[in-house]
């Protein structure tokens, strides 16, 4: 382990949680103890909000140019320390080293991109309907932001929200997942090293429910930005009415992938077998429900089973590993339960779905390909968040769209075709906030990322992500006769 941290970071100091509680951090590859870390609760959140509230007075008055200098230095720190911080991410999350390095690079890019973007938060002057008035609109930082994030992207999830909120001039009380504290310590160290003033970012690894309730009750917290399950998103929506806490929600997905019969089947099957299992399927935009045109269904199923069975499962530090372990035994067991339910529905598992024979310890599952199921299956209805690839046949565009849209989720969808008309009609007909056409990575620092339906509210990344942390103000000046 490279991080020397294990405490909370509040008002510029690394301190123990007030009640001195500690939790163990477990390596999901070996099931061995990595360390113990300080685990706080609402009492720690209270002093963190005090610090953030006080710091907002001066941080909100800084120029975006000064904030940019700090964020860019933090980005440089992440790039310079890539080996060490990627190592710790693999240790705590189990993901393959290459994926961890890629994720940290994107986290650094987010700091840099928002450093630049905040300089362009232009307002506007509106021609007045009255000769004696002048009207303009400006953007101002919201205030203290609570940022609660999930473990699946231990650097990307927090970096995306922290960078935008800090660049906007807000102060932050961050509560990342207790399963991945090391990455959060590194992100904090980067900002501290870059000269972020005390109180501007406060880090709690803490009891989620009590901290969440505290943040919702405290009127000084103007917004909660949340990345996680739809279940918790709904708890936050219920609580938000108490002090009108604004919310940005990145919730669950259940992404359809529609593959038409005009594609090069082998090439698409090969890349699909990688894309589906990136980060072990623990991705909210993970391609999940594979709708394959009936003319190529059998061929696609055979090819994809072959490619998936060739994927290497193992410790993320090992060369050539495609899939690490799932994050916890609970997450692994939930995937087994989904597979058992599917089996009872009559599903056929073409490959995988079992513990790898060569790995005695760790929360590993062989990646699975499943057929002989329909829209009523648990694998169509439920976000899997694990290494299972269910395949469903479809007949034509309308059939594919009806099946793809048959979900409460609306985050991402994917379409593969060489027919321009099909691509346009499919992209317009899909009820999702993000549509990838002939590509598996429809996201980027500069692009708006957000879900329709029950997948969320608001956007992260892109310029939209910046304005999530700013309020619009109309200034009307009268008496100019």
Binding residues (CB under 6 A) for ligand ADP: these are: 148-151, 175, 177, 208-209, 212, 228-229, 232, 235
Taking each helix axis from N to C end, the angle separating 97-117 and 64-80, rounded to the nearest 10 degrees, works out to 160
Which one, of 297, 390, 296, lies nearest residue 352 by Cα?
390
Alpha carbon distance 347, 458 (integer Å): 37
Given 117, 250, 383, 468, the catalytic residue: 250
- Asked whether the beta carbons of 37 and 6 are under 8 A apart, the reply is yes
For the record, the structure tokens of 254 come out as: 């259940």
Nearest CB to ligand ADP, comparing residues 208 and 423: 208
CB of 290 to ligand ADP, least distance (A): 22
Half-sphere exposure at residue 105, Cβ-oriented, CA atoms within 13 angstroms: 8
CB of 194 to ligand ADP, least distance (A): 24
Nearest CB to ligand ADP, comparing residues 400 and 411: 411
Annotation says 250 is catalytic: yes
- Asked whether the beta carbons of 292 and 394 are under 8 A apart, the reply is yes
CB of 66 to ligand ADP, least distance (A): 30
Which one, of 86, 139, 91, 145, lies nearest residue 117 by Cα?
139
Alpha carbon distance 426, 258 (integer Å): 9
Q: What is the CA radius of gyration of the chain?
A: 23
- Asked whether the beta carbons of 175 and 128 are under 8 A apart, the reply is no
Distances (CA, A) of 80 to 101, 104, 157, 201, 216: 12, 11, 20, 21, 37
CB of 323 to ligand ADP, least distance (A): 18
Nearest CB to ligand ADP, comparing residues 72 and 453: 453
Q: What are phi and psi of 25, to 5 degrees?
A: -105, 125
Helix (H, G, I), strand (E, B) or coil at 333: helix
Nearest CB to ligand ADP, comparing residues 40 and 228: 228
Alpha carbon distance 371, 392 (integer Å): 7
Residue in the structure block whose two tokens are 């060569």:
358
SS (H, E, C) 401-431: HHHHCCCCEECEEEEECCCHHHHHHHHHHCC
CB of 212 to ligand ADP, least distance (A): 3
Annotation says 366 is catalytic: no
Given 117, 170, 284, 460, the catalytic residue: 284
Nearest CB to ligand ADP, comparing residues 120 and 231: 231
CB of 153 to ligand ADP, least distance (A): 10
Nearest CB to ligand ADP, comparing residues 150 and 335: 150
Annotated catalytic residues are 250, 284
């Amino acid at each position: 382990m490279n991080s020397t941290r294990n405490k909370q970071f509040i008002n510029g100091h690394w301190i123990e949680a007030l009640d001195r509680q500690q939790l163990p951090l477990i390596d999901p590859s070996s099931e061995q103890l990595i360390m113990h870390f300080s685990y706080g609760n609402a009492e720690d959140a209270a002093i963190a909000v005090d610090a953030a509230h006080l710091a907002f007075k001066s941080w909100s008055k800084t120029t975006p140019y000064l904030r940019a200098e700090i964020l860019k230095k933090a980005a440089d720190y992440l790039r310079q320390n890539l080996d060490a911080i990627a190592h710790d991410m693999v240790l705590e999350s189990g993901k393959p080293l290459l994926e961890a390095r890629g994720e940290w690079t994107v986290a650094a890019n987010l700091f840099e991109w928002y450093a630049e973007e905040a300089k362009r938060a232009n307002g506007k002057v509106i021609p007045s309907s009255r000769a004696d008035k002048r009207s303009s609109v400006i953007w101002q930082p919201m205030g203290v932001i609570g940022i609660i994030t999930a473990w699946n992207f231990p650097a990307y999830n927090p970096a995306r929200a922290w960078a935008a909120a800090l660049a906007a001039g807000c102060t932050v009380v961050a509560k990342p997942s207790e399963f991945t504290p090391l990455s959060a310590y590194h992100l904090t160290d980067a900002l501290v090293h870059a000269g972020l003033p005390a109180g501007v970012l406060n880090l709690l690894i803490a009891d989620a429910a009590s901290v969440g309730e505290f943040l919702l009750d405290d009127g000084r917290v103007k917004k909660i930005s949340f990345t996680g399950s739809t279940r918790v998103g709904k708890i936050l929506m219920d609580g938000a009415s108490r002090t009108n806490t604004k919310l940005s929600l990145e919730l669950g997905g259940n992404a359809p992938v529609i593959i038409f019969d005009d594609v090069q089947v082998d090439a698409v099957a090969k890349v699909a077998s990688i894309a589906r299992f990136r980060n072990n399927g623990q991705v909210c935009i993970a391609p999940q429900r594979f709708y394959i045109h009936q003319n190529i269904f059998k061929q696609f199923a055979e090819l994809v089973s072959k490619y998936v069975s060739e994927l290497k499962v193992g410790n993320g530090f090992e060369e050539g590993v495609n899939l690490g372990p799932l994050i916890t035994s609970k997450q692994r067991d939930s995937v087994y339960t989904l597979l058992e339910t599917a089996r009872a529905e009559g599903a056929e598992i073409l490959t995988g779905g079992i513990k790898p024979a060569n790995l005695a310890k760790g929360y590993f599952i062989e990646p699975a390909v499943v057929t002989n199921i329909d829209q009523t299956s648990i694998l169509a209805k439920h976000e899997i968040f694990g290494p299972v690839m269910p395949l469903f046949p479809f007949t034509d565009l309308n059939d594919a769209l009806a099946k793809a849209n048959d979900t409460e989720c609306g985050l991402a969808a994917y379409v593969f075709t060489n027919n321009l008309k099909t691509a346009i009609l499919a992209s317009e007909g899909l009820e999702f906030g993000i549509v990838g056409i002939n590509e598996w990575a429809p996201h980027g620092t500069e692009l708006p990322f957000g879900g329709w339906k029950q997948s969320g509210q608001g956007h992260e990344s892109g310029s939209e992500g910046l304005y999530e942390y700013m309020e619009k103000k109309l200034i009307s000046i009268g008496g100019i006769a």
